[in-house]
Amino acid sequence: MTRKSLLAVCLAAGVFGCATLPQQIAKADGRVLVQGSKSSSRRVLIRTVDGGGLLWVGGYQLGNEAWLSPGPHKIETMCEFLYSWGTKILPGNTVDIDVEQGEPYYLDGAMGGDGKQCEVRLREPA
C-alpha cells in the first residue's frame, strides 16, 4: 500500500468510522465482554467462569477477558502484581455478576490489607 492510499484510508476511517461505530460491544450471538483491568503494575485475571475449567490463553497464562451470555455468572479471579524485582500472583475473590446485553463489564482489583489476597470488585457499565 502506498503512503498516499494509506493516508486516504486513515482519513476515511476518521471521518466515517466514528459515525458508524456501535455504542455497544457485543458478539453476534449476544455475549458481552467481561474484562479484568490492566495497568503497568497490575492485571486482574479471570481464572474460571461458573466453575468451569481454567481459562488458559496460551501456555500456562490466564487471560483477562471472557465473553459471557446474558444472565447470572460466578467468576473466580486472580491478580498479577508487577514489580521491578518480579511478579507476584495472588488469589482473588469470586465475583457474582448478572450480565445484561450492552456495554462491557470490568473487574478492578487491589491487594488486600493482609497482602495475601487480591480484592476484586465489579465495575458495571455506566
Total domains, the chain: 1
Q: Is the dihedral of CA 24, 28, 32, 33 positive or negative?
A: negative
| Confidence class for position 2, pLDDT limits 50, 70, 90 | very low
> 93 and 22 in contact (C-beta within 8 Å)?
no
Domain that holds residue 47: 25-123
pLDDT of 126 strictly over 80: no
For residue 13, being part of any structural domain is answered with no
| Confidence class for position 25, pLDDT limits 50, 70, 90 | low
Chain segment 46-95, per-residue pLDDT in tens: 999 999 999 888 888 899 999 999 999 999 999 999 999 999 999 999 99
In the chain, % of residues over pLDDT 90 = 61
For residue 68, being part of any structural domain is answered with yes
pLDDT of 124 strictly over 90: no
For residue 7, being part of any structural domain is answered with no
- Helix, strand, coil share of the chain (percent; to 5): 15, 50, 35
pTM > 0.85: no
- From 96, 113, 114, select the one nearest 105 (Cα to Cα): 96
Q: How buried is residue 26: exposed, middle or buried, by Cβ count under 10 Å (0-12/13-18/19+)?
A: middle
For residue 53, being part of any structural domain is answered with yes
